[in-house]
Structure 1
Amino acid sequence: MTQATTGWFSSLAVRLLIFLSVALIPIGLLAVMQTGDIVRRAENRADAALAGLTRDAAVAEREIIQRAFGIAMGLAPFARASWDTEDECAQGLSELIEQQEMAVTAGFIRSDGEMWCASTGETFDFSDYPGWSDNVAAREPTVNVNPRAPISKRPVVTVSQPFTRNGAFAGFVFVSVPHESLALGRSIVDGSGLTVVTFTSGGEILTAMGHEESNPAGVLPVSRSLEDLGSGPVVQFRDTSVSGDPRSYSVSPILDGTVYALGTWVPTPHGATGPFSIKPEFFPIIMWLTSLGVAFATVYRLVMRHLSKLRRQMRAFAKTRRLPDPSNDRDVSGEIRELQQSFADMAETVLHDEAEMEQLVHDKNVLLKEVHHRVKNNLQLISSIMNMQMRELKSREAKAVVRRLQERVLGLATIHRNLYRTENLSKVNAPQMLTELTDQILALADAGQGSFDVDRKFADINLYPDQAVPLSLLVAEATTNSMKYLGTGTGRWVRMRLTVVDETQILLEITNSKPESESDLAPHTADQGTGLGTNLMRAFALQLGGQLDFEDQPDQFSVRIVFTWLGFDAEDQDAQEAA
């Protein structure tokens, strides 16, 4: 029986998974592109939301700083007018501060650093104050934060506006506002995870509010400084913070060239939220695996499980010849149902044909056995006629010739008797056939007076009739020849061997002892030497496809032949045993 290939790739399930995987690759690529586009859109929306929240959170600070600069610019004419009247100047500034709820202090500082007029009535020398020389050199509006102002003794944010007198730089007008007043946008950022840091174009942090307001330096980007961020328009970027977190950043100007707002938060991963969060990169893989699973489950339910059932029915039928049970599955497709019905019809046809063939083989065996039986009976009848004829003969030579012919006829009868007795006409058991044949020949042989030893060893092999018939005739001639020349003395013996030399070669050897002189031969043997037996043995050896050899030694004579054994292979053995 031919064995089916059972490699892993020959499995229908494996091939189906491979082909479905290849077929779903375009869908997977499309899902990758769509997911990437969705992620980019989500990032753009997140960046836009960050920029919007940053601008909204900085609105209050923008208004306060702009109002402070407006007050400072409005006080510049007053500073020029009251240059020499310090008392009137201080009183006027004091009244102004009382009218402005947001301002804490206001005053004028000359270019040499002397504050000669202030709303508090105090004077102060800023010439040695940090950053004063830079402000004088720049002569531009500035914003500074001071955790403890020298005049108000409290945290303030001071805006400075340069002014001129008689066309020349004269100094600065400053207005200080409480530091806490710039955090009015905290309500916008609370709960959003947003941190807003305001800073000057020089990189000085003014305020911080929101999620990380206690550590504003930790949320600043690593690769960009505040000076760099304050040198351009609105900026959107992603970077790692000083604390090591990946963050999104948005820079919005509060006062162009002077004050900026930096908004930042940790971006939320795009994808499913909750206890089973999934990164967007996994969506195409999940979609591809889901599609593959659905397609495979569909094909398995509609096709593969029915094919597996049909395969089991075929295997069961091959082993037991049991007809498959009719399928009652309602979800079987028409094509599968037709396939199952075709197999059921085929199985029924096979069983019917096998039954007919077995009947034909049985009838043939009966007829052949009857033929062999009739041939055996006819040969025995001929042997009986010869026996009756020998009683009428007077000549010893004639009786010997008829006896030799009778022995050949009985040998043929023995062969046919074995053939009709065997269960399988295509296989003959060699040792059983040769034993019965030689028993009969030895019983009929006239070996003179006395007894002799017979040593027989036949290998247990089976032969086709095409080899069994010439082999039995050859053994009959060789055995008869041994009896003929065995002699009449003592110590006589005959040895018969049938041996398997290798897997394909068989050796037949028949050896007999020889008398010491021709006077010891049987009286009717000395004058018999026609050579007919030798010619017959050569003819039988030719039918067996072997070479006949004779070995004549002083004390014994051997007939030997080696021929090819037409053995039975496994399929023939199974077929014969089944028959």
Structure 2
Amino acid sequence: MRKTLLTAVRDARSGLALRLIAILSIAILPLGLISSYQTSKVLEKNGALSEIALLDRTRQAAAEERALIQSAFGAVEAISAAASIFDSADIDCDAVLSRLITMEPKYIFAGFVDTRGIMTCASNKERANLSETPFFQDQFANPGGLVSVRPMDATTGGIALNVSVPVVVNDDLIGRFWISIPLTLANDLLGESSDTANLLIFDSEGEILATENFGDDRRTILPQDRSLQEIVRGQQRTFRTHNRRGDLRDFAVVSIVDDTVYVLGSWEPRNTGALTGPSERISLYFPVLMWIVGMAVAYIGTNRLVIRHIKRLRQWMRLYSVGQIDFSQARLQSAPEELEAVADAFRAMAQRLSEQERRREEDIEEKTTLLREVHHRVKNNLQLISSIMNILIRNTDSEEAKHLLRRVQDRVMALSAIHRYVYMSPKLSMVRADQLLEDIIRQLVVVGSADEPENKVSMSTRFDPVELSPDQSVPLMLLATEAAINAVKYCAAANGGKPWITLTLQDLGEDHVKLSVENSRSGLAEEQDSDTDHTGTGLGSRLIESFVSQLDGTLEINALPDRFELHVSFVLVKDEGDDAL
């Protein structure tokens, strides 16, 4: 399975369509690179313009909030610039700050705190020690202008947006003026600025100063994967990500007050260049789409004009290889002229080969019939000879002559059985040795028992299914016949038991076969030794040696006190002549 898959992959890689695609890809590669480069440049410029547009949208949405904070900075800076005149006895500092709050309803408090934390001037004329408050610590921890959100129970009575600047006289810091703006006003201005945006005011430390909803969940509109400090320090002022609610949003950061106060705008995603949408992706990937379309057209065209016709021809060849020979009606559909010429050549070749195959089969059938007839006639002639010898046996009075004639008759019948199996076999080139041995050995046992009815022999056989060529079947059957005749003749009871004969034909694997003939005998059975010993002078031994030599095998004889063993090993030889036939 794995080999088949690897072959399919290798064939696909070397296919015509893929090679054509590779060549066309190389041809249009420069155009694709130029188009991609130009598209990327256009998108880069578009991205810069889109980033500016998004920042401008955020700036416009927070314009009122920006004006509020910057006006507060302007007022408090004006007051701090005139701080030196407040030392005059003719000017009431509290009255000036109160007048400021009265004139500008957006402010709810104005005050001055010295470096000791003592509030020495206030629009509400309150005096308080703020040295231990977080407000005082924040104010004097920052040397510049500051916007913070702190509860001020001693001044405003609640949480306010405080805008403060340091007061310096003769290069000495004497305190800070600040103005408080209602936090609700700052939040409401952000809520009124845009219906589609979430706006948030924060300082450089990441502290949220104002948002349209200043509740506990005010941080849910922040980016999910980055903090406000990271946004301020980073160079990227526009980005797309999910907020902490899990909504996909476009974010933009704009500075309101000299990198001190920032506004973060969160917008519903739009298809702008910096935050690439489907149209920009299509533009960027247009060369790839063009290549895919071009390759698809090339593949479909190649498949329709060439590949499908080649596959059709290949199918015809496969059908021809499994036996279909008539392709006179086979046609290609709308094939190019060149492929039609190939199809015509294949049909003509198939017709010629089919005719030659038909003639060859007729010749083989004729020769097979003749060979069967030859084997049949030889079998009949051998049976006729056996019948003649049977008549001679009945008309002969000498027991020795009868015995000799029966020995010759057994050999003739063995040859007759071989020829009978050959012409009855489905394949003339092969003979089932196990079936043939069963028939011959059964006949020999019957004959041997007839010679000596009182000597009943126990016969056992075990023949593995082995196929032999006629060249080997004849000497093997004659060898088995001769060995079995000797076994029947000299079989005797050993140690008071019954006489027995064992014949085996073993398939040892790798075309090695072993024939074994064993029989029981008494300790006085010396005649068998002299008749079958391969070094003796008896007819049986000479015949056995001759048959073993024809098989190109090896002979092993073991004469034991209680039994006699004969083993012949040889290698199967295929009849290449009959196979070719």
TM range (shorter): 0.5 to 0.7
Please say if 1:12 is aligned against 2:35: no
Structure 2 unpaired stretches of 5+: 273-277, 492-497, 528-535
Which residue number corresponds to residue 507 of structure 1?
516
Q: Is the 8 A contact 1:427 1:465 kept in 2?
A: yes
Q: Is the 8 A contact 2:109 2:156 kept in 1?
A: no
Which residue number corresponds to residue 368 of structure 1?
371
Please say if 1:539 is aligned against 2:546: yes
Please say if 1:469 is aligned against 2:469: no
Q: Is the 8 A contact 1:190 1:210 kept in 2?
A: no
Distance 1:561 1:7, change over 3 A: closer
Residue identity matched to 1:260: V
Query: Could you tell me how far apart the structure 2 residues matched to 1:466 and 1:308 are?
Result: 47
**Cα offsets for 1:540-574 (capped at 9, x unmatched):** 23223242759698xx99794523363889x999x
Q: Is the 8 A contact 1:217 1:242 kept in 2?
A: no
Distance 1:426 1:55, change over 3 A: closer
Q: Is the 8 A contact 1:454 1:495 kept in 2?
A: yes
1:505 CA drift (Å): 0.6
Residue identity matched to 1:547: L
Distance 1:384 1:505, change over 3 A: closer
**Cα offsets for 1:126-170 (capped at 9, x unmatched):** 4646778998999987778898898999978777796989x9999
**Cα offsets for 1:458-500 (capped at 9, x unmatched):** 65555322222223444666678799999xxxxxx99875422
Distance 1:59 1:389, change over 3 A: closer
**Cα offsets for 1:146-204 (capped at 9, x unmatched):** 98898999978777796989x999999988877776678547742233323266x8998
Which residue number corresponds to residue 124 of structure 1?
125
Which residue number corresponds to residue 255 of structure 2?
252
1:425 CA drift (Å): 2.8
Which residue number corresponds to residue 563 of structure 1?
569
1:263 CA drift (Å): 2.0
Which residue number corresponds to residue 274 of structure 1?
none
How many matched pairs?
518
Distance 1:40 1:392, change over 3 A: same
CA RMSD of aligned residues (A): 7.8
Please say if 1:190 is aligned against 2:158: no
Residue identity matched to 1:539: S
Query: Could you tell me how far apart the structure 1 residues matched to 2:500 and 2:142 are?
Result: 136
Query: Could you tell me how far apart the structure 2 residues matched to 1:127 and 1:383 are?
Result: 149
Which residue number corresponds to residue 52 of structure 1?
56
**Percent identity of paired positions between Structure 1 and Structure 2:** 24
Which residue number corresponds to residue 426 of structure 1?
429
Task: Give the secondary structure class of the aligned counterpart of 1:250.
Answer: strand
Query: Could you tell me how far apart the structure 2 residues matched to 1:441 and 1:138 are?
Result: 127
1:55 CA drift (Å): 3.0
Distance 1:537 1:513, change over 3 A: farther
Query: Could you tell me how far apart the structure 2 residues matched to 1:13 and 1:495 are?
Result: 65
1:37 CA drift (Å): 10
Query: Could you tell me how far apart the structure 2 residues matched to 1:15 and 1:103 are?
Result: 82
Residue identity matched to 2:364: V
Task: Give the secondary structure class of the aligned counterpart of 1:194.
Answer: strand
Which residue number corresponds to residue 263 of structure 1?
264
Query: Could you tell me how far apart the structure 2 residues matched to 1:170 and 1:517 are?
Result: 145
1:514 CA drift (Å): 13
Which residue number corresponds to residue 523 of structure 1?
none
Query: Could you tell me how far apart the structure 1 residues matched to 2:350 and 2:270 are?
Result: 63
Between stretches 44-53 and 213-222, larger displacement belongs to: 213-222
Residue identity matched to 1:471: L
1:12 CA drift (Å): 2.2
Query: Could you tell me how far apart the structure 2 residues matched to 1:149 and 1:549 are?
Result: 127
Q: Is the 8 A contact 1:54 1:252 kept in 2?
A: no
Query: Could you tell me how far apart the structure 2 residues matched to 1:511 and 1:134 are?
Result: 123
Distance 1:266 1:481, change over 3 A: same
Between stretches 46-55 and 152-161, larger displacement belongs to: 152-161
Residue identity matched to 2:64: A
Distance 1:567 1:482, change over 3 A: same
1:330 CA drift (Å): 5.4
Structure 1 unpaired stretches of 5+: 272-276, 487-492, 519-528
Distance 1:496 1:143, change over 3 A: closer
Residue identity matched to 2:264: G
Residue identity matched to 2:416: T
Query: Could you tell me how far apart the structure 1 residues matched to 2:455 and 2:372 are?
Result: 36
Query: Could you tell me how far apart the structure 2 residues matched to 1:363 and 1:440 are?
Result: 36
Q: 2:210 aligns with which of 208, 211, 214?
A: 208
Query: Could you tell me how far apart the structure 2 residues matched to 1:444 and 1:106 are?
Result: 142
Which residue number corresponds to residue 524 of structure 1?
none
Query: Could you tell me how far apart the structure 2 residues matched to 1:557 and 1:175 are?
Result: 131
Residue identity matched to 1:262: V
Task: Give the secondary structure class of the aligned counterpart of 1:362.
Answer: helix
Query: Could you tell me how far apart the structure 2 residues matched to 1:220 and 1:398 are?
Result: 124
**Cα offsets for 1:101-143 (capped at 9, x unmatched):** 767789998989665xx9xxx8725464677899899998777
1:344 CA drift (Å): 7.8
Query: Could you tell me how far apart the structure 2 residues matched to 1:559 and 1:71 are?
Result: 130
Q: 2:362 aligns with which of 359, 377, 392?
A: 359
1:353 CA drift (Å): 5.8
Residue correspondence of structure 1 range 231-242 to structure 2 within 5 A: 236=237
Distance 1:196 1:320, change over 3 A: same
Q: Is the 8 A contact 2:199 2:212 kept in 1?
A: yes
Which residue number corresponds to residue 531 of structure 2?
none
1:216 CA drift (Å): 5.6
1:252 CA drift (Å): 1.1
Query: Could you tell me how far apart the structure 2 residues matched to 1:85 and 1:454 are?
Result: 157
Q: Is the 8 A contact 2:444 2:485 kept in 1?
A: no
Residue correspondence of structure 1 range 515-530 to structure 2 within 5 A: none
Residue identity matched to 2:568: V
Residue identity matched to 1:56: Q
**Cα offsets for 1:300-353 (capped at 9, x unmatched):** 987999999999988887778687998788599999999999988887777666
Query: Could you tell me how far apart the structure 1 residues matched to 2:419 and 2:560 are?
Result: 34
Query: Could you tell me how far apart the structure 2 residues matched to 1:109 and 1:441 are?
Result: 140
Residue identity matched to 2:572: L
Task: Give the secondary structure class of the aligned counterpart of 1:124.
Answer: coil
Task: Give the secondary structure class of the aligned counterpart of 2:549.
Answer: helix
Residue identity matched to 2:547: F
Query: Could you tell me how far apart the structure 2 residues matched to 1:182 and 1:455 are?
Result: 122
**TM-score, length-normalised on structure 1?**
0.54
Distance 1:331 1:511, change over 3 A: farther
Which residue number corresponds to residue 533 of structure 2?
none
